Chains A and B, each alone.
Chain A
């Protein structure tokens, strides 16, 4: 594919040695890469990044060059297949660190130390190095070596206790948001450290990202619930979403579902929209107390609201509510978002990326938009070891040495691109 340059990208002066794996770490380096940072990604010479195994795969046939998760997370990076445990591998890593501004890693705590690549060791030789470590529970503390999954992260760190229905066990959010959010936070925190180094004349530092804590301090209601508990001793609990007033929450329309908040200060607008100004200040219905009355709610829903919804499509309902400034959204599936969606299509958000092995697919676009078009896909996600030769060449290794390293299994350099 055509290679674009990083010329006008804000982070094009940052070089990163990327020792991450899975979702959180690679998402961190993806954000930095998409805005211009140069990433050298070290992968296990044979198995590569774990996300190469998790799919989704085209046709559901597993192939380490075709995993959707890997492809999404690793555009704009160069891949070097390298055995970190070999002495030659270590020597290569040290040469790369000497040329890098940052090392970003997501091993279990203790692994970097065993590789003699931990921050306190490296900072002696490279006082300006920024190292970001992304781990389940952080680098210190009694849970440092505990294992976790997306579900465990959300259950322990996130607001899972209040997510779901009261008569059932809690339910998680869709997908792997928690790990993405930790990567997002890691990118932000890494940039803070970089900014301090560059403009406050600070030294380098070690950024410790605990995926668990990234949820514990998350503004997705978790912070508010924790502070509220401090304030009044009440634990959060599961409730039908929107149970506090009406209309509030998810409702069925003619062809699907909508989510609305028409309670509180939005109640007058709802009465206007429904042509029922008589309800606006009627104490049986109006906030605050009318909205807490279950009989009023039942009457409103059964005789006014549901009949109104049942004759309208979800998009008609949203259009009407939006005319009156009432917070609403229709429930759209991935197809409705990705294919001919009026908003995403207008903004040209999804874009096609060609990959020589996986094929040509649509991918999500910029995290944020600037008129200078800072966000760019310069290169498709690398095949495993695609850039090993190129990177070793830049470090001054001769073709013969590279050949010998490959023979010994220290590196993998068979590009599958051709």
Chain B
């Protein structure tokens, strides 16, 4: 017998898009909350249920990468995108057109019977829909509402539109990421702040629920992805604060280690080695069977290794090139050397550690069949991960929401359906 899921009995209204918001509601759903995605068949939010509602089959075949099973968008592409299905388990989906009176009415009644409302749309979207905290609170004074955008709800940049990587440029992450010898046009894209915001939103929601239980009061949570992520860059900001240092990218280097990412045998196989002490360098020299390096006057201490980092990288890289990264990983770890393979997807799904810990779980969903998915990224001893519902189809739970939660009569529900927005397909005009 497992313990009750922590958020049993909590209902969450979810108008989230792209990654940060949906990631937060994934955690809440996993933990037992009833998460209801409120979607519209007349609007296709960017980068949420795929990139287009009706993608070109031809372009999908030619594109550098594809998110669809066998590169085929299929009959209902919005239920088949890896972009969406990775976070869409344990959620419900209803469709409503919040621009219409009937849609607004349905949403208002859902607010009355919900605990949490989370949205991460561009600033102004909620105002246009009449879903400001002020309004929402008047329907349910105890509601906890979260609005999360790149830069927060107030201030001169609050209206900025962007995806994660654009905001990460604005608040400094791009300026410290990348190859030190190349200019900023070669900066790798990062959306790490989406992941950070998703987790922080879920943390904020549980914190606010606890507060509500103690005080009887709801809350409005303004989570700026930037403000949340600046902590993750804390050392750089402290160095500026203390010393005026303006940090630049250092690639894979760190003052704490002699380290790098080195090519191995095979196609685009790589291993990382991080040497934290001079003893570890000596161990590596002996494993590489290069005792002459121990007498090399260039390499006498960690300090001198740092001075000759390029030469060290060259020596290590030429050696690793002869080995399989997984075999080398175990050999070196067992000799006390910090290292790890750069795990592409094939490595991840074959990894014995993840297998033993049951990290990937098979899920069967109507429109894509059965596949392995990343499970829960943390483990609770009394609440093991459960998939109660596969990645949710658009509008899959309309019957439940309209008939059971909102108590619409059969006739009322049929009348809504005839208006076209209670459906399981995007309108044909939606791109």
Contact = CB atoms under 8 A, between A and B. Distances in A.
B295 to A, nearest CB: 27
Interface stretch (B103-111, B204-212, B298-306): B204-212
Interface residues of A, number: 160
Interface string A63-90: 0000011011100000000000000000
Interface stretch (B179-187, B286-294, B392-400, B419-427): B179-187
A111 interface: no
Contact of A68 (B68, B167, B238): B238
A332 B170 contact: yes
Given A236-B65, A370-B221, A372-B219, A216 B354 contact: yes
30 contacts: A60-B243, A68-B242, A72-B234, A155-B341, A181-B196, A191-B207, A192-B206, A196-B5, A200-B8, A206-B381, A214-B378, A219-B26, A219-B87, A229-B346, A231-B70, A231-B82, A243-B64, A259-B166, A265-B52, A288-B56, A289-B62, A329-B166, A329-B168, A332-B175, A343-B157, A344-B227, A361-B238, A367-B227, A368-B222, A370-B219
Contacts of B374: 216-217, 222-223, 226-227
A131 to B, nearest CB: 9
B378 A164 contact: no
A151 B231 contact: no
A323 to B, nearest CB: 10
Interface string B27-63: 1000100000000000000100001100110110011
Nearest to B236: A334
A218 B213 contact: no
A368 B157 CA distance: 17
A57 B243 CA distance: 8
Contacts of B27: 188, 192
Contacts of B63: 244, 292
B243 to A, nearest CB: 7
Contacts of B221: 368-370
A55 B162 CA distance: 33
A11 B238 CA distance: 27
Contacts of B263: 169
A299 to B, nearest CB: 18
A330 B256 CA distance: 31
A72 B230 CA distance: 11
Interface string A45-56: 000000000111
Interface in B206-251: 206-211, 213-214, 219-224, 226-228, 230-251
Nearest to A150: B254
Q: Most chain-A Cβ atoms within 10 A of its Cβ — which of B69, B192, B254?
A: B192
B203 A184 contact: yes
A364 B174 contact: no
A367 B223 contact: yes
Contact of A155 (B151, B203, B232, B342): B342
Given A210-B378, A343-B170, 15 more contacts: A151-B274, A174-B178, A192-B27, A234-B66, A261-B162, A288-B59, A289-B58, A328-B161, A328-B162, A329-B168, A331-B175, A343-B155, A347-B154, A364-B227, A368-B223
A347 B155 contact: yes
Given A137-B353, A174-B173, A209-B378, A180 B196 contact: yes
Interface string B1-17: 00111111000000000
Given A219-B20, A231-B368, A163 B233 contact: no
Interface stretch (B93-101, B332-340, B403-411): B332-340
Interface in A174-218: 174-177, 180-181, 184-189, 191-196, 198-203, 205-210, 212-214, 216-218
Nearest to B222: A369
Interface in B335-370: 336-346, 348-349, 352-354, 356-357, 359, 368
Nearest to A221: B191
Contacts of B194: 219-220
Nearest to A289: B59
Contacts of B26: 219
Chain B binding surface, main DSSP class: mixed
A250 B183 CA distance: 10
- Top 9 A-B pairs, shortest CB-CB distance: A68-B238, A217-B377, A174-B176, A196-B6, A288-B59, A10-B211, A229-B345, A329-B166, A241-B189
A164 B179 contact: yes
B327 to A, nearest CB: 14
A261 B227 CA distance: 22
Contacts of A195: 6-7, 206, 209-210
Contacts of A58: 242-243
